[in-house]
Structure formats: structure tokens, C-alpha cells
Chains A and B, each alone.
Chain A
Amino acid sequence: MRYILLLVLLAAALVLNLSLGSADIPLKDTLGVLLGRDGLPETWRYIIWDYRLPKALTAILAGSGLALSGLLMQTFFRNPLAGPFVLGISSGASLGAALLILGASLLPVAAGVWFSDAGLALASSLGSFLVLAVVLTVSARLKDAMALLIVGLMFGSITAALVTVLASFSNAEALQQYIFWSYGSVGNLSWGQLGILLVVFLAGCGISLWQVKGLNALLLGEKYAASMGTSLPRLRFWLILATGLLAGGVTAFTGPIAFVGLAVPHLTRLWFTTSDHRHLLPGVLGVGAALMLVCDTVAQLPYSAYVLPINAITSVVGAPVVIWLLLRRNKMLF
């Protein structure tokens, strides 16, 4: 029942997202273009197929991916405040992007060669995977999940500091470009890039689904999980890898997007009234996608030529949700 409602919600959010934008295309005709009806303006076909649909699909993958990685981290750390970026993944991506954008402005020769959206995606995914590799290495030595949380935070501080250093040496134009990247955006992905994101996303989802029993065992704590036959080092490896793929992959293409990963798992738990990951997993994917589609629709400021940074919208939506959850329950249960 909940799944049907979720699918309806998701479909509604998708249609809303596709039919609203700077160009005024009636809902009926939006569907017409998608279904291949004849006699509609070619520009509409172009706007919907090459601009709005990739953007909507990116929003779906980004929302689902971030929400799922947030769920994985909350369960892994058994901490309701954990999100997809606690392991320093977004800091790594920021460092990669900063090195490319800000670093390129320092070395004018390289600038033209490397600079493109694909290059940016590559740089930020390299950055997040570098941090991830270090975190995985450290996690093999640390027994305590909480210590790992702090390691992630420290990496965040280090990379933030490096970005500041880079920023203070670069010119205003590059700085502005970096800042726009850090606002996040689900637009501008080609179908090819979307394909890469989809593969990474599916790999992350597959690993999560495969480890679903271990995730449920972790609800009792690590010792109980071990006593029920869960191999903790193995589970830890797969969970960190899945989070890295999901959050790192999404961040590489869209820039850091705040709050979706933190808020969606809580909303889903509240709605589904369960902690069972067999239900939460599809739940967060759907809720995350729907929420991201709505946020993107708002960010488009329908019928105007302006586009708001998506990060601003997700924060404006996400932060009150977290506060509301706290007030409602008096404590963040997970």
C-alpha cells in the first residue's frame, strides 16, 4: 500500500518536474512529447528530451543515491545525525573540483585542455575516491566506528583548509566558478554522463541490497551482529564502498547537495514506521527521488529565467524537517 502511494507520488513529482520550467509548455503537451505525439513544436521536443528529462533523471538518481548513502551511514554509525558526507566524501569531491577549477587558473596553459564538465566530474570523483581509499585503509585499523566518524570529520577540515588556500591564490572568475559548483546542480548532464551515473548508482544499490541482512543485524549493535554470524570487517568494507559509490558518484556530477541524505532516512522511517532495511531500502530510494524532484522544480522558479542553487532549496526544506523531527519525537530515534 505504502509502496503504491510512493510510486504515485514519485510519478506526480516527475510529471510536475518535467512540465514546469522557464519555457511554458502545457502539461498535456509535455506528456505528448514524451509519448512521441506528432505536430508539436520541435523546440519543445528539444527542451524536454535534451534538457528537462536528463535533468529530472539526474535529480532522481541524485536524490535516491544520497538518501540511500545517508541511510547506510546512519545505520553503520548508529547515529541519527550521520549523513552521506560524514566520511569526508564531499570534502574530497570539493578538493578535486577546487584543484581543477582554482588550480587551472593558476596554470593558464593547462586550463583549456582540461576544462570541461566531464573533466570536473572526473576531478571530483577522483577526489572523493582518494578520500574514500584513505578512510577504508584507516577503517581496517580502527575497531571503533565512532573513531571513524571523527576521522571523516578531520578529513573534512583538512580538505576545507586546502580549498581555502587554493582560493586565496586564484582569480575572481575561477573562484566564482568554484562557488557555483559548490551550489550544486542537477542540470547539464549529457545522456552519456547520465549513463555513467546510473551504472555507479546501480552498483551502490546492489551492494546495499546484498548487505541488507548485515544492516538489520547492526540495528542491535556490533557485538550482537557478530554473535549472529555477521562478519563486521567485511560488512564495514562493503558499506563504506557502497556509500562512496553512491555519494561520491552523485557529488561528482552534481556538486555537493546538502540535507537530502540526512533528512530522507528519518522521513522514511517515520512514514514506514519500521527500522527493517528490507522496507527502508526501497523506501528511501523513492522518497529521496521524489523530494529531489520537488526541490529541483522549486529551484527552477517555473516560468522565469532564473535558477536558484539547488543546495539552497534542499537546505531550506531539509533543515526544518530535521528540527521538526526533533520537536515531534523529543529525540532522534533511529
Chain B
Amino acid sequence: MEVKTHHPALEAADLQIGYPRNRPPLRLSGSIRMQLEPGSLTAIVGPNGVGKSTLLRTLAGLQPALAGAIYWQGQLLEEIPLAQRATCLSIVLTDPPASRNLTVGELVALGRHPHTNWAGRMGEADRAAVREALEQLQLTNLRKRPCHTLSDGQLQRALIARALAQQTPLMLLDEPTTHLDLHHKVNILKALGHIARERRITIAFTTHEIELALQLCDALLILKPETASYGPPAELIASGALQSLFPTDAVRFDTESGTFRVQP
């Protein structure tokens, strides 16, 4: 199904993330400026503890920002009511579904919640959306399997399919590639790229796979404790933002090959 798209999909304006309830308030990473375009795939990278997941939850409206603003198609995200927000953005988190007994089909069908009535009754359009999502992630044969019998890669695909069935113009994923081998990592990221381009969905995800992200994404957001830089891969490599991502005693970024080299 076609998703309606307008000019700037998601915009973060001098966004600061962290935990205001901590004393003193804990601020993570530098202030973030980015504009995610419709149909683009963006990776959020950075060292452990810099707030990648926190940023993702903040962008999803699950926790408040410290400062700055998030705009969804020009409208302040926090002003969009919860029910309407559920039709704008979907999320994929690192924790598995709480109920391990759900089948893949049921899991994906839950993604239709924002579109169904009070009892969650599925109409023909809903079933079609679920079918399509299962097909896109190659899960049609697994739809009757309970989640606890799935491999990590299959479970990740099922969770992405659920978000896809929600049919939102924006999808946010927290570390969709952890626990996967290289082959499956590339598969997941390629699938996300396809979804973004084919369906004009804006996708942002956090990852530790910087090298893969440089090859497969339209843009990257590099989070560091003091700064945050956003741009297309080539621009970021040229700007040297990657060289200073990690302390140079262990690894160093090689601009020529676009890879990290272990220091002797």
C-alpha cells in the first residue's frame, strides 16, 4: 500500500537527549540536527553508552527530550496525540516480545492495532497488509510458528514485519543487526533499504555496523559525547568525523577503504 509522503519527514532541531529525572540531569551526546528525507535509510552510530537507543526512544516519543524539538512533517511530535502518532511511526526494539507464545502471524497482525476498531477486528485491508508484510520479509512459511522457536534472524524479521504491517511512513529500529552473523546482518540491512526505497518509508536504525552502514545507507548520524554529525556517507568520511569516533590506540578509520583498521 502506498504511504502518503510530504517534504521533510522527520526533523530534529538542536535536539538534546538524556535523562532529566537524574540528579544532576544526565545529558547524552551533543545536540543533534538532522532532516530525514522520505524513502531514505539512515544509520545512527556511535560508541557504547553515547545514547543511540535513548535517541531512538526520544524520536519515537517514548521519552521526553532534554532540549530542542522534533518535528514530524513540520508538526511538533509531542503535540501529536498518541493514537495518531501510532499511524506516523512504528518501532522495532531490542527486547523480544513479552509473550513468547505468539505466532509470527499473530505478532505481525498486532501491528494493525492503530488501524482497527476497539476490539481489534481485522478487515480485508488489514489481512492484506499482514500478508504483504510477511511476504516482504520472507516469513509466509513461518507464520504459524511460535516466536520462541525462531532463530534470532527470523525473530528480527518478524519484528520488522510487524512494524511494516503498521504501515507508517517512518520506522525506527534499535540495533536490528545484533546477535546476527554477517550474512544475516547484510540481509536485514538490504531488506530495510528495499523497504525504504520501494515504499518511500523513512527508516532510521541504530547499529554498531559502521562499515556496512557506510555502504548501504543514504545518511549516517554519528553520535559522540560532545558532538553529533549528520550527512551522507561520503561527506562524513571526507569531514573526518569517523577518524575521531574511537580512541586511536585500538582502531583507526581508513579513509581510502572506508573501513576500520586494527592498530598494531
Contacts and interface: CB of A to CB of B under 8 A. Distances in A.
A and B together in one complex: yes
Interface of A: 78, 210, 212-213, 216-221, 223-224, 226-231, 269, 274-276, 278, 333-334
Contact of A275 (B91, B106, B116, B166): B106
Interface of B: 57, 60, 62, 82-87, 89-91, 93, 95, 97-102, 106-107, 110-111, 113-114, 116, 118-120, 146, 148, 162, 166
Given A213-B120, A278-B120, A228 B113 contact: yes
Nearest to B57: A223
A72 to B, nearest CB: 14
Contacts of B116: 213
B99 A275 contact: yes
A90 B120 CA distance: 33
A229 B60 CA distance: 12
A267 to B, nearest CB: 14
A241 to B, nearest CB: 18
A227 B147 CA distance: 20
B93 A229 contact: no
B213 to A, nearest CB: 23
Would you list the 6 A-B pairs with minimal beta carbon distance, nearest first? A229-B86, A219-B99, A78-B98, A229-B83, A228-B113, A221-B98
Contacts of B111: 228
A269 to B, nearest CB: 7
A85 to B, nearest CB: 21
A239 to B, nearest CB: 15
A333 B85 CA distance: 31
A128 to B, nearest CB: 27
B90 A227 contact: yes
Nearest to B82: A229
Contacts of B95: 221, 223
B100 A212 contact: no
B120 A231 contact: no
A226 B166 CA distance: 13
A333 B87 CA distance: 30
A218 B98 CA distance: 8
A269 B83 contact: no
Contacts of B83: 229
A222 to B, nearest CB: 8
A103 B23 CA distance: 47
A223 B244 CA distance: 34
Contact of B98 (A219, A230, A269): A219
B100 A228 contact: no
A160 B83 CA distance: 43
Given A78-B98, A78-B99, A275-B102, A226 B82 contact: yes
B62 A219 contact: no
B214 to A, nearest CB: 29
Of B89, B99, B102, which is in contact with the most chain A CB atoms at under 10 Å from its CB?
B99
Contact of A217 (B87, B91, B113): B113
Given A212-B119, A216-B120, A227-B90, 16 more contacts: A78-B99, A210-B118, A216-B113, A223-B57, A224-B97, A227-B89, A228-B86, A229-B82, A229-B83, A229-B84, A229-B86, A229-B87, A275-B102, A275-B106, A333-B148, A334-B101
A132 to B, nearest CB: 24
30 contacts: A213-B113, A213-B118, A213-B120, A216-B113, A217-B110, A217-B113, A218-B98, A219-B98, A219-B102, A219-B110, A220-B99, A220-B110, A221-B95, A221-B97, A223-B62, A224-B110, A227-B86, A227-B90, A228-B110, A229-B82, A229-B86, A230-B82, A269-B101, A274-B106, A275-B102, A276-B106, A278-B119, A333-B99, A333-B100, A334-B100
A173 to B, nearest CB: 49
Contacts of B106: 274-276
Contacts of B119: 212-213, 278
A328 to B, nearest CB: 13
Nearest to B113: A228
Nearest to A215: B120
A66 B250 CA distance: 60
A226 B90 CA distance: 10
A27 B87 CA distance: 58
Nearest to A227: B91
Nearest to A229: B86
B17 to A, nearest CB: 16
Given A212-B120, A223-B91, A333 B166 contact: no
B120 A223 contact: no
Contacts of B162: 220
A317 B82 CA distance: 44
Given A227-B60, A274-B106, A220 B86 contact: no
Contacts of A274: 106
Contacts of B87: 229
B90 to A, nearest CB: 7
A275 B90 CA distance: 22
B93 A224 contact: yes
A210 B120 CA distance: 11
